[in-house]
Amino acid sequence: MQNSRSKPCSCPSLKLREVASMYLTVVAAFLVILVVALQGSAPRESHFPYKVPLDPQGLLELSWNVSYPEQAVHFQLLVRELQFGLLFGMSDRGEMENADLAVLWSDGHNSYFGDAWSDAKGQLHMDSQQDYQLLGARRAPEGLYLLFRRAFSTCDPKDYLIEDGTVHLIYGILEKPVHSLQAINISALHGGLQRVQLLKPNISIPELPSDVKSMEITAPDVVIPSQETTYWCYMAELPEGFPKHHIIMYEPVVTAGNEALVHHMEVFQCAAEFDSFPHYNGPCDSKMKPDRLNYCRHVLAAWAMGAQAFYYPEEAGLAFGGPGSSRYLRLEIHYHNPLVFKGRRDSSGIRLYYTATLRPYDAGIMELGLVYSPVMAIPPGEDSFTLTGYCTDKCTQLALPAAGIRIFASQLHTHLAGREVVTVLSRDGRERQVVNADRHYSPHFQEIRMLKEVVAVFPGDELITTCTYNTEDRSRATVGGFGILEEMCVNYVHYYPQSQLELCKSAVDPGYLHRYFSLVNRFNDEEICMCPQVSVPQQFYSIPWNTFNRDVLKSLYGFAPISVHCNKSSAVRFP
């Protein structure tokens, strides 16, 4: 099975396990007859604070809560139009194969519920250990509610290990009765996937001050284009002479009925060096979009499907307004419309809560990881290739205040080949703490996540960000850069008090990369053009990717000296 399967944990002794396994197999063989005739009201919403639509039509709605003392997730699945059952579960990347599943099915007379798994061919098997525990089922006017529980980690090699970061949830709807679990053909099901962060941090929500105000940055009456993916841009502006305030919280505003279409949203502040920005309300990739909008890149707020409201710590807020701050904001909405609905209208966006009573500290955002440069590249056909960016001890020594900074949130970012991102804090040459890790990272699901615990970073500490990529579907090298088919490795960390350090990243020393090209040239029959006028990407594209050239590149990135960018917000480097 895959690396997401449960890792070793404290298990019963073997004899007891055999007995337990035999007992559970008997239970599984008889199955659990599910009584769905129970009438009654829906469970209280407050018990399940997190909610996400699973399918684009909103027929399946998942709510959940997390119990850290029990180390378990409680799920509530609302099925609006139940036919003959459904599959719900988790897998490494959202595949139906090698998946860990809870299955509800009907033979036309009785309904059954069980914990199952699918093999590499997609065949379903009843699990000998029933770890999806059915807690109840009830009918309500809006549909059938299923309640079940699942521990984060089980001692079952067939089970998915629920950990921090992104989880790929999968579902399938049974449209015909089936006489047994094995008779279900998962490839023929109407199904799909939804990405969420299941293990939300258990942090207390700060009280809002009495003078809090709110403003909505929403795109007015957009007709969602009838295509699968749209990025929509809308320009908004703050009132003339708007003084400095602190943003202390924000939340999504999603038009009712469009919950399954609004995938994620971000509000960016524009660069202060321009006095004005043109109005715009249209697709972000349109030729009609004014170029100046590309200078609106400073993130004020970011939300993704399944995320709750975002709160700043009581002692800090994100400054906006006042001198040296642009009045212009750009809202970007990602619509995901796989069923290609036509004529849907939307006025979604983000509601900012702000106060004129400034908190003790301004919050800041710092970029960690790799410099956007083609010197960092991934060969084609790699299933797992890692690149690492360093925010070095020299940079933090020079740029951070003596009392250090506190990181409270983080947003990980790569382009399409990214599969895993991890940032660790190192002190005195030893790894001390994981700042943020997403082992099932998806470039299609990026949100600012509040950390379970605040991370203190002091001058002389090192922040190391490692990204893992998959380029199995590519035939030429993927270089670093801004293009969607180029790659990035970034962690935007949110911290306080704000310092002058805005970017702390690295890349391999270009001189050592030049030596790599010379070496490859010497050992290869094909000539790689290394004339000065040939760009680094072109040199990478001309390399024949045999094992030797791949291994030497890995070694180069592992051991060669690095070039460090330790930049102030003005893009000027610290000396």
Tokens of 420: 């895993």
Enumerate the β-bridge partners of residue 426. Answer: 431, 462
Choose the catalytic residue: 125, 336, 413, 514: 413
Q: How many CB atoms lie within 10 A of CB 197?
A: 19
Sequential DSSP letters for 384-398? SEEEEEEE-HHHHHH
Whether residue 252 is preceded by a cis peptide bond, meaning omega within 30 degrees of 0, is no
The C-alpha atoms of residue 246 and residue 362 are separated, in whole angstroms, by 8
Q: Is 413 a catalytic residue?
A: yes
Query: What SS3 class is residue 543?
Result: coil
The C-alpha atoms of residue 96 and residue 146 are separated, in whole angstroms, by 21
Choose the catalytic residue: 50, 125, 231, 514: 231
Start-end of H helices in 156-276 = none
Contact 368, 391 (CB under 8 A): yes
Q: Is 231 a catalytic residue?
A: yes
The C-alpha atoms of residue 488 and residue 373 are separated, in whole angstroms, by 9
Tokens of 566: 């330790």
The C-alpha atoms of residue 555 and residue 486 are separated, in whole angstroms, by 21
The C-alpha atoms of residue 93 and residue 78 are separated, in whole angstroms, by 24
Return the closest-CA partner of residue 247 out of 272, 221, 217, 275. Answer: 217
The C-alpha atoms of residue 49 and residue 196 are separated, in whole angstroms, by 14
The C-alpha atoms of residue 225 and residue 439 are separated, in whole angstroms, by 33
Question: Which residue numbers are catalytic?
Answer: 231, 413
